[in-house]
Amino acid sequence: MRDFEKATRVLDALKAAEDQPAQLALPILNGLVGLVQGSGEQPLEVEEARSGAFMAICEVGKALHRGQPADQLWSAAIGATERWMSLTK
C-alpha cells in the first residue's frame, strides 16, 4: 500500500474516531499503528510528516487513556495526517 493510501485511511479513521467516547476511539487509534509506522523508503520530508502524524496520534491516545481532554489534540493529529497525505500525492 502506498503512503497516500495509508495516510487517507488514517485520516478517515481519525475523523470517525474523533466523536466517539474513549472506549470506542482507543481501539481505532491502536489499529492505526501499522499504517503510520515508517519504512524509511520515502524522502525525508515525507518521513518527518509521517512521524509527526504518528506522534500526534499517540498524544491523542495517551490523553484518552488518562481521561484527559483531547479536543485540541484531535485537531493536531488530523492536521499532521493531512500534511503527511499532502506530501505523498
What digits encode the pLDDT tens for the residues 62-72? 999 999 999 99
Spatial distance between the Cα atoms of 22 and 5, rounded to a whole number of angstroms = 26
Query: Are the C-beta atoms of residues 52 and 78 closer than 8 Å to each other?
Result: no
pTM: 0.93
Query: Are the C-beta atoms of residues 58 and 26 closer than 8 Å to each other?
Result: no
| One-letter amino acid for residue 22 of the chain | A
What digits encode the pLDDT tens for the residues 38-53? 777 889 999 999 999 9
Q: Per the structure block, which three cell numbers stand in for 73?
A: 489534540
Q: What does the domain layout of the chain look like in residue ranges? A: 3-87
